[in-house]
Amino acid sequence: MAPGLRSSTTAIDGLILLELPVHADARGWFKENWQREKMAELGLGDFAPVQNNVSFNTRPGTTRGIHAEPWDKFVSVASGRIFGAWVDLREGPGFGRVVTAEIGPGFAVFVPRGVGNAFQTLAPDTAYTYLVNDHWSAAAQTRYTYLNLADETVGIPWPIDLAEAEVSAADRAHPRLADVTPMAGRDTIVLGAGGQVGRALRAVLPAARFLGRADVDLSDPAAIEAIDVDGVGAIVNAAAYTAVDAAETEEGRQAAWTVNATAVAALARLAARHQLTLVQISTDYVFDGAVPEHEEDEPLSPLGVYGQSKAAGDLAATTAPRHYVVRTSWVVGDGPNFVRTMVGLARRGVRPEVVDDQIGRLTFADDVAAGIAHLLATGAPYGTYHLTGSGPARSWAQIAAEVFRLCGADADAVTPVSTAQYLAGRPAAPRPVHSTLSTARLRATGFEPRPMDPALAAYVATLVDRAGS
C-alpha cells in the first residue's frame, strides 16, 4: 500500500517537503500531484496557483538555478529523479541557509517566495514540474534574485560535479552569496495616507507606499484598477467618507456609498485577482447599538447612511479571499477629533454640553496601526476583528470630563445631556447607543489592546505640552 500524504518542515522557514502517495500497478503509476484541500491542512495555506510549468531534461547532470522568484512555487517530479537544492535568499536571519534532498515522483516541495530553487537531474528524460501563484512576465523576472551554483559559502554537494554538468552560461555567471542583494518582502500600499490612521501607519509600516487623494481617485473604479500592484502583498484601505451627518444629504449619500462601498468592492476585485491581502478599516456604526457589546459575527444593522455604506464595504471586502476587516470606534489620532476639540475648549474656559447616553471606548490611531501591522506580520487567520482601546466603556460626557481634568480644568464644566437634547433642531444622522466592541478575537491572535484611560492621559499630555511650547 502506498504511504499516506505527509509533510515535514525544513531548516528554511516556509520550505515544506511533502511525501505523495504513488499508486502503482503493472500499467505504471498514478499520484495526486496537487490537492488543494488536503495540502492546505499540511501547512501550504491559500497557495492559489495560477500557472503550471514543466522543465524536460534529456540527460543526467542537467543543472538549473539557483533562482529565487517573487512568488511561491510547488515543485514535483513527473518522471525521473533529481537532486534538489534550496537556499534562503530573503532578507532576515535565515539568509544563506541551505536544504537539499533527492526526490522522485513520490515527493514534492513547497518553495516560498524568495527562496532560491535549483536542481540537478540524476536520470535521463527527467520532467520537473512546478506550479506558481503569479504569472511570469518580463517585468517580474527583473525582481528575481540569483546565486551561483558553485558558491563556496553555501557549499551545495552536487552529486555530479558542476565541471561535468550541463549548465547554462547565465547560471554559471550568477553572483556569489557575498554579492547577492537579499530579496525584500512584498510591498504594502496604504490608501488614505492623510487620515489619522494613515498617518499612524507610517510609524509601523515605514517601507509602505502611502497614497492619498491626489494619487488615487477612489470615486473612479478605473483609477483603482490602475494601481500598480507589482511586487505588492497587501493593501490597507484607511480611506473613508466619515461625515456622518452630511451622509444623510443627497450629495453626501452618493459620496459615502462611492468611497465606503463601491471603492471597496473595486479594491476587493483587485486583491482577489492579484492574490493580495486587503485590510479594510471599518466602524462601530455598522451596528444599531442595541446590545451593550458587539461581537464580530453580530448581524449588521446600521442606522444611518454612513453606517449602511460602511456595512456594505465590510461585505465587499470579504469577497477578497485574503482579507482583514478591522472595526474600530471613536478614533483619536493626529488630526481633528473629539479629544482634541475638548482640550481646546478646556483651555479656552468653555463649558460644553456633551452627550452621556452613547457608550463606547476610544481607539487611538497608533493602536489601530499596531494592530494592523500585527495581523499582517503574524499571518493571523483572515476575517473580521474588532480593535479598540481596552478597559471600562465610557460615555462621551465622561471622556470629556476626564479630558478637562487632565488639562487642569474643572471637570464639572462639562454638562451631560442626552443625544436627543444635544441634537434638538439639528439635521443629524442616528447614532448607535452602544458602540463597545468585543476585542477577544484579536487578543486571541496575540495582540493586546492598550488600556484606554492611560492612553488618553498620554495623548492629552502631548497636546498640552505642544500647546505650551
Summarize the confidence of residues 134-151 as an average pLDDT. Answer: 90
Residue 206: its pLDDT value, please? 94
Summarize the confidence of residues 399-409 as an average pLDDT. Answer: 97
Residues 259 and 328 in one domain: yes
Asked if residue 1 is part of any domain, the answer here is no
Residues 357 and 334 in one domain: yes
Boundary-marking domain end, from 179, 202, 219: 179
Residue 143: its pLDDT value, please? 86
What is the set of active-site residues?
67, 130
Asked if residue 426 is part of any domain, the answer here is yes
Residues 238 and 289 in one domain: yes
Asked if residue 221 is part of any domain, the answer here is yes
Residues 267 and 406 in one domain: yes
Model confidence at 351: pLDDT above 60 = yes
Model confidence at 374: pLDDT above 70 = yes
Q: How many domains does the chain have?
A: 2
Contacts of 70 (CB under 8 A, 6+ apart): 113, 114, 134, 140, 143, 144, 183, 231
Residue 55 lies in domain: 6-179
d(CA 8, CA 291): 47
d(CA 174, CA 207): 28
Residues 163 and 262 in one domain: no
The three cell numbers of residue 243 are 461625515
Q: What is the 3-state secondary structure (H, E, C) of the chain?
A: CCCCCEEEECCCCCCEEEECCEEEECCEEEECCCCHHHHHHHHHCCCCCCEEEEEEECCCCEEEEEEECCCCEEEEEEECCEEEEEEECECCCCCCCEEEEEECCCEEEEECCCEEEEEEECCCCEEEEEEECCCCCHHHHCCCEECCCCCCCCCCCCCCCCCCCECCHHHHCCCCHHHCCCECCCEEEEECCCCHHHHHHHHHCCCCEEECCCCCCCCCHHHHHCCCCCCEEEEEECCCCCCCCHHHCHHHHHHHHHHHHHHHHHHHHHHHHHCCEEEEEEEHHHCCCCCCCECCCCCCCCCCHHHHHHHHHHHHHCCCCCEEEEEECCEECCCCCHHHHHHHHHHHCCCCEEECCCEECCEEHHHHHHHHHHHHHHCCCCEEEECCCECCCEEHHHHHHHHHHHCCCCHHHCEEECHHHHHCCCCCCCCCCECCECCHHHHCCCCCCCEHHHHHHHHHHHHHHHHHC
Boundary-marking domain end, from 179, 206, 234: 179
Residues 266 and 321 in one domain: yes
Asked if residue 311 is part of any domain, the answer here is yes
CATH assignment at residue 83: 2.60.120.10
In contact, 94 and 88? CB cutoff 8 Å: yes
Q: Pick the closest to residue 317 from 235, 199, 388 (CA basis).
A: 235
The three cell numbers of residue 285 are 456604526
d(CA 303, CA 285): 8
CATH assignment at residue 287: 3.40.50.720
Q: Which residue reads 451631560 in cell numbers?
A: 416
Burial zone of 435 (CB within 10 Å; 0-12 exposed, 13-18 middle, 19+ buried): buried
Residues 236 and 304 in one domain: yes
Boundary-marking domain end, from 133, 157, 179: 179
- Tens of pLDDT along 33-46? 999 888 888 877 77
In contact, 316 and 264? CB cutoff 8 Å: yes
At 3, the pLDDT band (50, 70, 90 cuts) reads: low
Asked if residue 255 is part of any domain, the answer here is yes
At 126, the pLDDT band (50, 70, 90 cuts) reads: very high
Handedness of CA 341, 347, 352, 355 (dihedral sign): positive
Residues 142 and 214 in one domain: no
Model confidence at 210: pLDDT above 60 = yes
Residues 125 and 202 in one domain: no
Identify the residue with better confidence: 286 or 133.
286
Residues 273 and 413 in one domain: yes
- Tens of pLDDT along 338-348? 999 999 999 99
Model confidence at 94: pLDDT above 60 = yes
Report percent pLDDT > 70 for the chain: 99
Identify the residue with better confidence: 64 or 48.
64
Model confidence at 200: pLDDT above 70 = yes
d(CA 193, CA 213): 8
d(CA 304, CA 307): 5
**What are residue 136's phi and psi, to 5 degrees?**
-65, 145
Q: Is 231 left (phi over 0), alpha (psi -120 to 50) or beta?
A: left
Asked if residue 369 is part of any domain, the answer here is yes
- The per-residue pLDDT of the chain, averaged, comes to 94
Name beta bridge partners: 53: 130
At 464, the pLDDT band (50, 70, 90 cuts) reads: confident
The three cell numbers of residue 193 are 495616507
Residues 196 and 97 in one domain: no
Identify the residue with better confidence: 156 or 231.
156
Residue 2: its pLDDT value, please? 44
Q: Pick the closest to residue 270 from 226, 231, 210, 213 (CA basis).
A: 226
Terminal alpha carbon distance of the chain: 79
Model confidence at 68: pLDDT above 90 = yes
Asked if residue 144 is part of any domain, the answer here is yes
- Tens of pLDDT along 434-459? 999 999 999 999 999 999 999 999 99
d(CA 388, CA 154): 47
Q: Pick the closest to residue 304 from 423, 148, 138, 211 (CA basis).
A: 423
Residues 262 and 401 in one domain: yes
Residue 140: its pLDDT value, please? 81
Report percent pLDDT > 90 for the chain: 89
- Tens of pLDDT along 256-301? 999 999 999 999 999 999 889 999 999 999 999 999 999 999 999 9
Asked if residue 34 is part of any domain, the answer here is yes
pTM of the model: 0.84
